[in-house]
Amino acid sequence: MVESKNNKDMLGRSSLISVQQALDIFLDHLAGIKVGTQSIVVTEAFDRVLAKPIHSPVDLPTEARSTMDGFAVRAVDTFGASQSSPCYLNISGEVKMGEAPLGDVKQSCCYKIPTGGLLPSGADAVVMLEQSVPVDDTMIEIVGGVGSGVNVIARGEDIGLGEEALAAGRLLRPQDIGLLAGMGIAEVTVHKKVRVGILATGDEIIAHTEAPKPGQIRNINSLALAGLVLRAGGIYTDYPIVSDREEIFLPALQQAVQENDIVLFSGGSSVGVRDLGEHVIQALGPPGILVHGVTLKPGKPVLIGMSDTTPIFGLPGHPVSAMVCFDFFVRPAMASLCGQLRQAELPAPWVEARLTRNINSAAGRRDVVRVKLMKKDDIWYAEPILGKSGSISTLSRADGYFQIDEDSQGVTENTAIKVYLYT
């Protein structure tokens, strides 16, 4: 295992590591650590993470059903039917929605059937209404033959009795809730929501509701980070602003660690104050600091540590940097703690766009560049929104971002890039 805190330069400073190295180190320490579980009703399970797999208690559907409006038939009776050589069937019954069909479909006969209607005994296919021509009230002309099973969903075809319907670690989406409802499952066991404590640090920080005096700054990060926590499926506690003095900062951080699954503090990872943040994390007990700075712009001075099993993040004070670090490090930590399956094969929502200008980058550093999207002649264009990491308006104006990898020194105008969308 690589510990970034042991990597020192000639002056004894912690050297930077890549974003991926930092994430690997941190998630390795989180392996096996999970928040508790609870049983909840399905109606409250949207965007919750399953703690146990779900196996179907029934065949779904429970009976064969029609997938079209038309006529339930014996497929053999329609073989060879066409516009030029139709076949004729007697209408011997009708399937009513919500009722079991009466009788059997016999040779050269058919039943009227609506979409979703139960397939009557003797029938093995459905002829679409569009492939039939009425002769009178008791007979139809079939102008298109069907094979067995056509326009029918068989019993258990959707999901079979005992089959795993949803795996543990699945983030429940609306369609998953629909599946649970279809199987008649009323309660599920899920991981509890990750509790995230948020602290803003700095003697110059004031509440966003106050008018700043010279040298003071409204607290942007706490509200922005709280929104990100909610978007990531967690719950948050916004603690009072704390001073940069250790005798005040340390007890506040200790309280937050005791009361939460993850703790974020922002403002304590800049030069000078960053040393205090590192010292306080170390003072809270092992394993202490795991990552002290990454090759990321914005977000380089991030601190990542743990006190026993509780992750602690020292996020940069600049709002853009703090929010970028949340996406790269805090969000994966939340997913790990609540047991959410990591699906690297499923990309974040993105769109391909053409870059509107050259963007330079330093080799060995990952750059996150905010962009505004514009569409012209069915082609998306990405216009970089440039600004300092303290400029929250650059994020507010951005539709998404693209990344310049560590092995690149920039991207030229009109290059096709992947723009990851802010949602």
Q: Positive or negative CA dihedral for 392, 26, 21, 335?
A: negative
Of the candidate ranges 12-16, 201-205, 290-294, 343-347, the one whose mean pLDDT is the lowest: 343-347
Lowest mean pLDDT among 133-137, 187-191, 244-248: 244-248
Residue environment code for 383-399, b if the CB has 16+ CB neighbours within 10 A, otherwise e: bbbeeebebbebbeebb
User: pLDDT tens across 338-382, in order?
Assistant: 988 865 446 678 999 999 999 999 889 999 999 999 999 999 999
As a whole number of angstroms, the distance between CA 193 and CA 338 comes to 7
Q: Which CATH number covers residue 303?
A: 3.40.980.10
What's the predicted TM-score (pTM) here? 0.85
What was the pLDDT predicted at 193? 97
Q: Are residues 301 and 231 in the same domain?
A: yes
pLDDT at 272 over 60: no
Give dist(CA 281, CA 298) in Å, integer.
Answer: 22
Peptide bond into 287 cis (omega under 30): yes
- Please give the Cα distance from 378 to 356 (Å, whole number): 15
Task: Check pLDDT > 50 for residue 420.
Answer: yes
Residue 274 has pLDDT above 70, yes or no: no
Q: What is the pLDDT of residue 159?
A: 96
Residue 10: per-residue pLDDT: 38
Is residue 108 within 8 Å of 158, Cβ to Cβ?
A: no
Shared domain check, 226 and 164:
no
What's the pLDDT at 395?
A: 87
Q: What's the structural domain count of the chain?
A: 4
Residue 376 in any domain: the answer is yes
pLDDT digits (tens, 9 = 90+) for 99-155: 999 999 999 999 999 999 999 999 999 999 999 999 999 999 999 999 999 999 999
pLDDT in tens, 302-338: 999 999 999 999 999 899 999 999 999 999 999 999 9
Select from 282, 303, 337 the last residue of a domain.
Answer: 337
pLDDT above 70 (res 190): yes
21 Cβ contact list (under 8 Å, min separation 6):
2, 4, 294
Token pair 């949340």 is at which residue? 326
Whole-number pLDDT of residue 55: 98
Greatest extent of the chain over all pairs of C-alpha atoms, in Å:
96
Same domain, yes or no, for 30 and 71? no
Q: How confident is the model at residue 401 (pLDDT cuts 50, 70, 90)?
A: very high
- Are both 187 and 205 inside the same structural domain? no
Share of the chain above pLDDT 90, in %: 83
Indicate if 89 and 51 belong to the same structural domain.
no
Looking at residue 14, its pLDDT comes to: 58
Residue 345 lies in a domain: no
List Cβ neighbours of 300 (8 Å cut-off, separation of 6 or more).
16, 293, 294, 316, 321
Is residue 363 included in any domain, yes or no?
Answer: yes
Say how far apart CA 110 and CA 122 lie, in whole Å.
Answer: 10
pLDDT of res. 378? 93
* Whole-number pLDDT of residue 343: 57
Q: What is the mean pLDDT of the chain?
A: 92
Q: Are 268 and 314 in contact (CB under 8 A)?
A: yes
User: Which structural domain range is residue 183 located in?
Assistant: 47-60+160-191
Residues 198 and 329 in one domain: yes
**Residues 6 or more apart in contact with residue 197 via CB below 8 angstroms:** 236, 237, 239, 256, 257, 259, 260, 262, 263, 264
Asked if residue 217 and residue 237 are part of one domain, the reply reads: yes
d(CA 312, CA 264): 6
Q: Is the pLDDT of residue 388 over 70?
A: yes
- State which of 90, 125, 153 marks the end of a domain: 153
Q: Tokens 């969903």: give the residue.
A: 153
